Amino acid sequence: MKAEEFKARTKAFALRIVRLVAALPKTRSSDVIGKQLLRSGTAVGANYRAACRARSQADFVAKMGIVEEECDESVYWIELLVESEEIKKALVEDLLREANEILSMVVASRKTARARK
């Protein structure tokens, strides 16, 4: 996948996260978890854009590490929302699948970039 396509994909992911958080029930736990998810879910695309502007291969690998962490954290918060019964799994299965696909691509990209050093 080309960088511009991945930028668009991570931005679409962020927008889906924004919509999910806006639709969460108005409970204290949803509010706390939602804020964490909003932060990590929107950071995926923002940090990927930063990685695309890396000044070196090492800088790219480091910035992609941040993307990986934010994406994995997003998966965690979505799973927590489901397991705490704040939302039904069926409502976020596709979003969770997308998060895991993005995570897999980021991990593969980091491995490839590290091998090129």
Q: What are the tens digits of pLDDT across the range 10-39?
A: 999 999 999 999 999 999 999 999 999 999
Query: Which distant-in-sequence residues (6+ apart) come within 8 Å of 98 by Cβ?
Result: 13, 16
Q: Answer yes or no: is pLDDT of 102 > 70.
A: yes
Answer for the pair 38, 22: CB distance below 8 angstroms, yes or no. Answer: no
Tell me phi and psi for residue 56, to 5 degrees: -155, 170
CATH superfamily placement of domain 3-115: 23S rRNA-intervening sequence (1.20.1440.60)
Per residue in 64-94, pLDDT (tens digit) is: 999 999 999 999 999 999 999 999 999 999 9
